[in-house]
Amino acid sequence: MTAYLYLAMAIIAEVFATSCLKYTGQFTRPVPTLLTFGGYGVAFFFLSLTLRVLPTGIAYAIWSGAGIVLISAINWIWLKQRLDAPAVAGMALIVLGVAVINLFSRSAGH
């Protein structure tokens, strides 16, 4: 269970860093740039802790799926970037895929 907590922390840090990336001005603005690099550093640190227990493919599937959905939600709410029906359907399939891995896969470390 600790591995999933580490993975959640990695995902949150990665989503934070990716959200800051837009504001770096191609890495010309110091504060957003430092927040971006710091967020990615924290994300990779916690991902490395996760990989002590979970297989890389499973951890990365969960990381990327959750990251896609969270970044899209943040952009939709704060940046008013609207999603069309195919984008929402695709993200729903990603969430479904992550759920299938966690509920039914023996590879997920259950």
Position 108 scores a pLDDT of 65
The DSSP secondary structure of 62-93, one letter per residue, reads: HHHHHHHHHHHHHHHHHS-----HHHHHHHHH
Contact 64, 98 (CB under 8 A): no
pLDDT at 11: 97
Per-residue pLDDT at 50 exceeds 90: yes
pLDDT score for 99? 85
For residue 79, what pLDDT is reported? 83
pLDDT at 110 over 70: no
Reported pTM = 0.85
- Over residues 20-46, the mean pLDDT reads 97
| Stretch 87-108: mean pLDDT | 86
Domain locations in the chain?
A: 2-108
Q: What is the mean pLDDT of the chain?
A: 91
